[in-house]
Structures are given as C-alpha cells and as structure tokens.
Amino acid sequence: MLSKKTKYGIKALTYLAKQENRIPVQISTISKSESISQKFLESILLTLRKSGMLGSKKGKSGGYYLLKDPNNIVMVEVMRVLEGPIALVPCVSLNFYEKCHDCPDEKACSVHNLMLEVRDSMLKVLNDKTLADFI
Amino acid sequence: MLSKKTKYGIKALTYLAKQENRIPVQISTISKSESISQKFLESILLTLRKSGMLGSKKGKSGGYYLLKDPNNIVMVEVMRVLEGPIALVPCVSLNFYEKCHDCPDEKACSVHNLMLEVRDSMLKVLNDKTLADFI
DNA sequence: TTAATCCCTATCGGAATAGTAGATTTAATT
DNA sequence: AATTAAATCTACTATTCCGATAGGGATTAA
C-alpha cells in the first residue's frame, strides 16, 4: 500500500506544477485545496525540499515552489524520496539492497525471482512518468 | 514492502511444488527447511488451504500437499490471498476497490492515474507467473 | 515591530505485523 | 483401546510503523 505521505506528496507536487508562475505557494493553501492535514503536509514538503525538488521562501508571503522543470521530476525519484525502495523485498532493491539472511541462494529463490520481475515492471512505468504528465 | 506472510507462503508453496509426489509434508519439515517460525507458518498454510490451493491431512503422518497443478497456481492469486490487493491505492484496485473520499474526480487525480499504470504493469507479471516457473 | 510563514523536535494513539501459547481434534500405529 | 503425532483453532503479546498533533524557534516581508 502507498503511504499517505507519498500520496499527499504527489498531490502537492502536482498542485505546484499546475501554477502558472513559480511564486511561492503557502502550505495552508495547498493543504486546503487538497484536504491534507497542514502539519503533516509541512513535513512532507520539507522532505521534498531537502531532496532538491522544491525551493522555499521563509517569512511573510513565503511558501514552496518547484525548483525543477516538471519534465525533469521523474516519479521514480518522488517515490524513492517519500516511500523508500520501489522493490517489494530488499534483496531486489537497486538503491536499498539488503541480503536476506535466510536465503542461501538468491538465484534459486522463488520470492527473489518473482519480485525481480515485479520491480522491473514497476520501474518501467515510474522511470517514464514525470510530473509534466499530470498537468 | 512484501509481508513476511506472503514471502513465507510463496516459499512454502514452492517447497511443496518441488515434491515428487503429493503425499503430505509436515509443517515442521517445511519450517526447518525454509527457516520459518513453525507457528507462524502454521497460520499461513491454513490460509492457503482455505483458499483451495492446499489440501491437508490431520493426524499422524498428516501434513499439507498441493491440491492444484503448479501450472494452475497463478502468483496473482497467491498475492491476493496472502498480501491483499495488488494495487497500491484502493481506488485503482480491481478486487478491493474503494473510492477515495478526498478525491472529487479520479480521472483528474495524478495519484490515481500513476497507480493505475503501476498496477497494470504489476498484473502483467503476476498474471503470467505460476508456481511451475519456480520448480 | 509585528505577523505570517517555514523549520525542527517530540510525542501519541491506533493499527498492523510477526510471533507465541495452549487447548482441541483427528487419525495412524501399536 | 491406548498412544502418539499431527493439523486446527482461539487467544494473546510484543513490537513497529503510520498518520497526525503540539509547541516552539527562526526568518522575513510589510
């Protein structure tokens, strides 16, 4: 299941991408428009800022705005930043690999092989989709 | 992330599919071979029996065995029985559909549209793979 | 100076996960 | 018939994670 964090994050990014210009939008504005708990959204936007997708402006009439062009915000990156690994098991993860301690031979493991294919099929979609596709 | 329940379930099914004949295998045997907590495995095998994939025999020299041919045990069904919905959000689930209460228009929702494609790509793999592929 | 806004840390309740314990039922073997 | 080994069923527990909340602190435009 997708966490609400990721769900809200994608919605917020879409909202920002739909803005005509790149002037800062307040958290409260997005929170109301997308009916997201404001405090929760706050922490999500902070994460996205740290990852380099968003910029922010402090103080009065501050807010968040896209740093990159929507074409260059690939959904796989959004997922990795907010949700974590794409793979459903650590032993097939590209960016968060971890060996199964109970698995003597990955090549012979049915779970490993199945999830490898699932991962690849997901990546095919997520590597292709960008924020621009949702404007 | 895939739950251990599903992971163990797939491993146990694979183990049973690899047996030459269809005589019952004890839980303890599978549990040792695959290093799975026996009691936990117990409840998993019970679930798989109720779903019709496994048969069981009680009493001495009892155990679990495959009911169907490995070719007819499709991984998408295993996943649905043990893990639940394939879709990452309920609003794109085929078997467990639920409307998002915060989403006025699914067609216009970026999360919905993205996850729709992810689901389809996953289904393409899971509908195709059967237990027989892992023997 | 003030008010609005981002930034940061801490906490909390509830749900889900993974596993445990023990009693019961069933069936093969002696 | 008694014994034994196995699945079955119910209930419980510990831990972790998620979503949300609370309360300031820092920053900046007006």
- Tell me the per-residue pLDDT of A5-15, one tens digit each, with 9 for 90 and over: 999 999 999 99
Does residue A135 fall inside a structural domain? no
Question: Do A8 and A60 lie in a common domain?
Answer: yes
pTM of the full predicted structure? 0.94
The CATH code of the domain that includes B13 is 1.10.10.10
Count the Cβ atoms, other than its own, within 10 Å of residue B89.
Answer: 22
Question: For the segment A23-50, what is each residue's pLDDT rounded down to a tens digit?
Answer: 999 999 999 999 999 999 999 999 999 9
Where residue A35 falls (left for φ over 0; alpha for ψ -120 to 50; beta otherwise) is left
Q: Is residue A106 part of a domain?
A: yes
B chain contacts of residue A126, beta-carbon cutoff 8 Å: 118
Q: DSSP letter string over B23-79?
A: --B-HHHHHHHTT--HHHHHHHHHHHHHTTSEEEE-STT-EEEE-S-GGG-BHHHHH
What integer pLDDT is reported at residue A20 of this predicted model? 86
Tens of pLDDT along A96-115? 999 998 888 999 999 999 99
80-109 in chain B: CB under 8 A from chain A: 85, 88-89, 102, 109
Which residues span the domain enclosing A111? 85-130
Which pLDDT belongs to residue B113?
A: 97
Predicted local confidence at residue B90, as pLDDT: 96
Structure-block tokens of residue B130: 């059967």
pLDDT value of position A104: 87
Which pLDDT value is given to residue A2? 96
User: What single-letter DSSP state applies at residue B104?
Assistant: S
Residue at B24 is within a domain: yes
Pair (B11, B61) in one structural domain: yes
CB-based contact, A134 to chain B, within 8 Å: yes
Numbers of helices and strands, H then E, in chain A: 5, 2
Residue B54 lies in a domain: yes
**Distance spanning both ends of chain A, measured CA to CA:** 25
Per-residue pLDDT band at B26 (split at 50, 70, 90):
very high
Examine residue B29 and state whether it is found in any structural domain, yes or no.
yes
> Do B21 and B60 have their domain in common?
yes
Short-list A44, A35, A57, A58, CA closest to A13: A44
To 10 degrees, the CA torsion angle through A93, A97, A100, A103? 70
Considering only CB atoms, A102 lies closest to which of B35, B85, B122, namely B35
Do B61 and B89 share a domain, yes or no?
A: no
Same domain, B47 and B9: yes
Domain-terminating residue out of A34, A66, A98: A66
**Within this chain, do residues A55 and A106 fall inside the same structural domain, yes or no?**
no
Give chain A positions within 8 Å (CB) of B129. Answer: 114, 117
Mean pLDDT of all residues in B42-49: 96
Per the structure, the count of domains in chain A is 2
User: Both A93 and A52 in a single domain?
Assistant: no
- The answer to whether A18 touches A30, Cβ cutoff 8 Å, is no
For A58-89, how does the pLDDT look when each residue is reduced to its tens digit (9 = 90+)? 999 999 999 999 999 999 999 999 999 999 99
**pLDDT for B6 beyond 90:** yes
pLDDT at B39 over 90: yes
Q: How far is B58 from chain A (nearest CA, A)?
A: 28
B44 in A contact zone (CB under 8 Å): no
**Claim to verify: residue A17 and residue A59 sit in the same structural domain:** yes
Distance B21 CA to D16 C1' (A): 41
Looking at the structure, do residues B20 and B62 belong to the same domain, yes or no?
yes
Last residue of one domain, picked from the residues A16, A31, A66: A66
Q: Does residue A76 belong to any structural domain of this protein?
A: no
Q: What percentage of chain A reaches a pLDDT higher than 70?
A: 100
Question: Please, which pLDDT band fits residue B78 given cuts at 50, 70 and 90?
Answer: very high
Q: The dihedral of CA A47, A52, A58, A60: what is its sign? A: negative
pLDDT value of position A101: 85
Question: Could you give phi then psi for residue A64, rounded to 5 degrees?
Answer: -115, 150
Judge whether B76 lies within some domain: no
> In this predicted structure, what is the pLDDT of residue B22?
85
Band of residue B87 on the pLDDT scale cut at 50, 70, 90: very high
User: 3-class SS at A40?
Assistant: helix
- Regarding whether B12 and B58 lie in a shared domain, the answer is yes
Q: What are phi and psi of A102, to 5 degrees?
A: -100, 10
Instruction: Assess if residue B78 is contained within a domain.
Output: no
